[in-house]
Amino acid sequence: MSHPETGTRQRSAPRTATDPDLVDRLVRLRTILPLMATDLARARRRAHALELENQRLAQRIEMLESKAPCSAE
């Protein structure tokens, strides 16, 4: 009997990677992944800083709007 996932995997991977191909991919990943992790951490810090700035500005707007005279024209 054949396992259903095996058939799916074989159809989705038309070319079998060789050992040198896999080693080359791993070397590239070992180079790229730390850079990606650094960029992701930087982006998360920046997103957090922007969220804090947005909250501060929203509070400032609320304060200014509450002090502004109501104009019902």
* Any domain includes 29: yes
* Any domain includes 10: no
Instruction: Give me the number of domains the chain comprises.
Output: 1
Q: What is the DSSP string of 21-49?
A: HHHHHHHHHHHHHHHHHHHHHHHHHHHHH
Overall average pLDDT of the 18-45 stretch:
95
Which pair of tokens denotes residue 53?
């700035």
* Any domain includes 12: no
State the pTM of this model. 0.57
* Any domain includes 39: yes
CA atoms within 13 A on the CB side of 2: 7
Q: How many residues does the chain have?
A: 73
- Which residue range(s) make up the domain with 51? 19-64
Integer Cα distance of 18 and 73 in angstroms: 77
* Any domain includes 60: yes
Overall average pLDDT of the 25-49 stretch:
97
Which pair of tokens denotes residue 1?
């009997």
* Any domain includes 30: yes
Q: Would you place residue 56 in the very low, low, confident or very high pLDDT band (cuts 50, 70, 90)?
A: very high
* Any domain includes 7: no
**% of the chain beyond a pLDDT of 70:** 74
| pLDDT value of position 17 | 74
Integer Cα distance of 70 and 67 in angstroms: 9
